Amino acid sequence: MFVKVTPSAARQVTIYFEGQPLEVDEGITVAAAVLGSSHGWTRTTHGGHKRGPYCHMGVCFECLMTINGVPNQQACLIPVAEGMRVSRQTGVPNFDKESCNHA
Amino acid sequence: MSSKDTAGAVVIGGGAVGTAVACYLAMDGVDVTLVEHGEFAWGSSRRCDGHVVTYDTPPGAYSQFCKYGQDMFHAAEKFLPVDFEFSPEGLGLLVDDERDLDAVCANYEGKKNEGVDVTLWDRDDLRHHEPNIGDSILACLNFNGDCKLNPMRLCQGLAMHAEANGATLMTRTSVTGLRTDKGRITTVETDKGLIHTDNVILAAGVWTPLLADMVGLSVPVRPRQGHVLVTERVRNLVGKNYAEYGYLLAKGGKTRSDATPEMEHFGVAFVLEPSHAGTILLGSSRRYVGMNIRPDPTVMRIIAQRARHFYPALADTRVIRCYAGLRPCTPDAKPIISPTPLQGLFVATGHEGNGIGLSLITGKLISEMVRGQAPFMDISYMALDRFGTSSVTHSAGTTTA
């Protein structure tokens, strides 16, 4: 569904989407990486409906994903990085003492 | 919205109190017209939280008044046509300072003797029920009967039920004047025309003094600004509603032992309400800044810091929205539910932070007063004349703002 319009000249990095390794161009966003690999949806609403990236500029919040264990991350604003662990967010995420980054 | 040029009673104000007054008058058979400057829940009732509580009043007559007001929501949930997300899930009063423990325990005993369902959690109990609580929080006094609801849905439900019982609803209608004749109210002037009536109820919150001034009546209500922060949706972070013990002290204007000068300056005390939608409402602040409702980033920051102290994991959640509202505040922190020296003119305002919780009982009492009945409970201490302000200029035939 999504095709790169320019040939890839960039260095490749490996991210892990739902535990599966994914080779993607360095410098693209997590949302682009997920769409480009034909995975489509990135989250579900709390009612269970699937959602995918829509605005790609940080406004619509449809692309919320769990990145490196932290939920509610805007995948369209975060560039991929080597070894990044990305997973879909289903429903409303848990934030708790253990999973959070707070000091 | 419809309009009529005569009414048995005109309620001015479409917030929680105004819609409740109109609803009870209509249910009691009075031909009532509700006039609202904007839409329902247009002012303070949409810039607040939805706590319906008894925890913040010391044992006594006023505490029992609040309890009765709270109980009325259980009945209203059955007859109102809108699901107003009523949840009697309880509220916990969190203690983070050892020096406060004695006072909290005294409050516990006093409330228990009054028949309120309260329980005390020690440090371990609290962690069992709230695994995400901050490490320094010592205890929690639970008011198990305290409730919350969605204020905007409540106002909508009350207005709809009033209309179903024959009330006329006039939104987007401004009151431009009040006419009197021989010491009694006769007419409400609006930008949509005149409404001739024998009874007018001023239930416009912080705007009530402006209306009362049209007939030379002084109502000592001051706008007190309060902030609420709203987080993004989260799950399982917090189990129910909480407030910090210092909230009671801040509300009572007392100094708190562990508050920073900034917290004291802006009256910041931790209050938390998880909403049905999954967001969390965080408060609170108290200060007098006139009619200003622009949120202040400094106040927002202090509230957020205070919230992190009680729930450290909130540091990772985003704030998606912040609003500030104006609480109608009286000199003695009790509402004004009262007739006035002008026959047919009644006042229902001054509930400060309890307007949502006390809306139904205010509606019921005002309906009794308008219909010439004795109030079902003693509310003499909520009369307007306790402030010695009966300075009505009876000569004013027509007064226009």
Chain A interface residues (partner B, CB cutoff 8 A): 46, 70, 72, 91-97, 100-103
Residue B391 class from Cβ within 10 Å (0-12 exposed, 13-18 middle, 19+ buried)? Answer: exposed
Q: Phi first, then psi: what are they for A48, rounded to 5°?
A: 95, 5
Quote the radius of gyration of chain B (alpha carbons, Å). Answer: 21
pLDDT band at A1 (very low <50, low <70, confident <90, very high): low
Q: Could you report the per-residue pLDDT of B174-196, keeping only the tens digit for each?
A: 999 999 999 999 999 999 999 99
User: In this predicted model, which residue has the larger pLDDT, A8 or B240?
Assistant: B240
- Nearest CA among B151, B159, B162, B191 for reference residue B175: B191
**Position A46 in a domain:** yes
Q: How many domains does chain A have?
A: 1
Q: Rounded to whole angstroms, how far apart are CA atoms B354 and A3?
A: 58
Tokens coding B293 = 């409702």
The secondary structure element, H or E, covering residue B156 is helix B151-164
The pTM (predicted TM-score) of the whole model is 0.88
A96 neighbourhood in chain B, CB within 8 Å? 131-132, 236-237, 313
DSSP string, B36-73: -SSSTT-SGGGSS--EE-STTS-SSHHHHHHHHHHHHH
Residue A100 lies in a domain: no
- For residue B233 the two structure tokens come to 């949706």
Sign of CA dihedral B155, B161, B163, B166: negative
* Listed residue (A68, A69, A66) closest to A89, CA to CA: A66
pLDDT at residue number A102 = 55
Reading the block at residue B227, the tokens are: 């902030």
> Measuring CA to CA, which residue among B273, B284, B283 is closest to residue B237?
B273
Q: Is residue B105 classed as helix, strand or coil in its secondary structure?
A: helix
Q: What is the pLDDT of residues B112-139, one digit of tens each?
A: 888 889 999 999 999 999 999 999 999 9
User: Which chain A residues touch B237 with a CB distance below 8 Å?
Assistant: 94-96
Is the preceding peptide bond at B2 cis, omega within 30 degrees of 0?
A: no
Q: How many CB pairs under 8 A join A and B?
A: 48
Mean pLDDT, contiguous 10-residue spans, chain B (401 residues) = 83 98 98 98 96 89 93 97 96 91 82 88 96 95 95 98 98 97 97 97 98 97 97 92 90 81 94 94 96 97 97 92 97 96 98 96 98 95 87 45 38
Cβ neighbours for B86, distance < 8 A, ≥ 6 positions apart = B73, B74, B77, B147, B148, B149
In three-state secondary structure terms, B258 is coil
pLDDT of residue A92: 86
Q: Which domain holds residue A59?
A: 14-88
Q: DSSP assignment, residue B28? A: T
CATH number at residue A56: 3.10.20.440
Q: Does the residue A65 lie in any domain?
A: yes
- B9-46+152-219+332-387, what's its fold? FAD/NAD(P)-binding domain (3.50.50)
Q: pLDDT digit string (tens) for A31-88?
A: 999 998 888 899 998 889 999 999 999 999 899 999 998 888 999 999 999 999 999 9
Q: Which residues of B touch A97 (CB under 8 A)?
A: 131-132, 312-313
For A32, B202, B211, B291, the CA distances from B207, given in Å and listed in that order, are 52, 9, 7, 9
- Residues B204, B209, B215, B217: is their CA dihedral positive or negative? positive
Cα B365 to Cα B352: distance, rounded to the nearest angstrom: 18
Is residue A101 one of the residues assigned to a domain? no
The amino acid sitting at A10 is A
> Which two structure tokens, joined as six digits, stand for B273?
């309400």
- Taking contacts as CB-CB distances below 8 angstroms, the residues of chain A near B236 are 94-96
Distance CA A59, CA A72 (A): 13
Q: Which of B91, B80, B18 is nearest to B362 (CA)?
A: B18
Q: Do B315 and A46 touch (CB under 8 A)?
A: no
- Residue holding tokens 């300056």? B265
CA nearest neighbour of B24 among B383, B359, B377 = B359
- Domain boundaries along the sequence of chain B: 9-46+152-219+332-387, 91-144+222-329
Are A96 and B313 a contacting pair at CB < 8 A?
A: yes
Q: Search chain A and give the residue with CA nearest B278.
A: A92
CA dihedral sign of residues B70, B76, B80, B85: positive
The CATH architecture to which B91-144+222-329 belongs is 2-Layer Sandwich (3.30)
Which one of A51, A59, A68, A95 would you mutate to disrupt binding with B, by most B Cβ within 10 Å of its Cβ? Answer: A95
Residue A21 lies inside a defined structural domain of this protein: yes
Partner-chain residue, chosen from A70, A91, A92, that has the shortest CB–CB distance to B316: A70
Nearest to A96 among B232, B236, B278 (CB): B236
At A46 the pLDDT is 82
Q: How far is CA B9 from CA A27, B20, B30, B132, B165, in A?
A: 68, 14, 7, 51, 14
Contacts of B314 in chain A (CB under 8 A): 95
Cβ(B47)–Cβ(B326) below 8 Å: yes
Instruction: Name the nearest CA neighbour of B73 among B144, B158, B160.
Output: B158
Q: Are the C-beta atoms of residues B187 and B179 closer than 8 Å to each other?
A: yes
**What is residue B373's DSSP assignment?**
P
- Residue A79, CA distances (Å) to A60, A73, A75, B283, B316 in order: 18, 11, 8, 34, 19
